[in-house]
Amino acid sequence: MNYKQLNEVFKQLRNIKLKKVSTNQSTDFYEEKTQGDEGERVDVYELGFDDLYLKITTVSDSYGNNESIDSIQFVKPIVKQVTDFEPVK
């Protein structure tokens, strides 16, 4: 891993312009939920080197309006083969 490149990416957080490649959000992220429940959104951004991506998990509170970052991780993509079956015609 090239830490110099990472440091350049994170040097000025305000000016970071990363390409979002994936987002997955719970259906009730912005809605009111049962006390203590949280909504979750996962965004994945391309860093542009070493096949390395940044995964940011954000949660919303039970009111559905206060968001906070829950975790930040460096991730690599994996490819999974999925077999599906359909009726014979």
Task: Give the number of domains in the chain.
Answer: 1
Res 12: pLDDT: 65
| pLDDT beneath 70: ranges in the chain | 1, 12-16
Res 76: pLDDT: 92
The model scores a pTM over 0.85: no
For the stretch 30-43, pLDDT in tens is: 777 777 777 889 99
The one-letter amino acid code at 85 reads F
Residue 47 falls inside a structural domain = yes
CA atoms within 13 A on the CB side of 8: 7
Residue 11 falls inside a structural domain = no
Res 13: pLDDT: 64
Which range marks the domain in which residue 61 is found?
21-75
Q: Give the span between the Cα atoms of 58 and 35, in whole angstroms.
A: 18
Res 81: pLDDT: 93
Q: Which of 49, 47, 67 is nearest to 58 (CA)?
A: 67
Q: Which of 5, 9, 29 is nearest to 72 (CA)?
A: 9
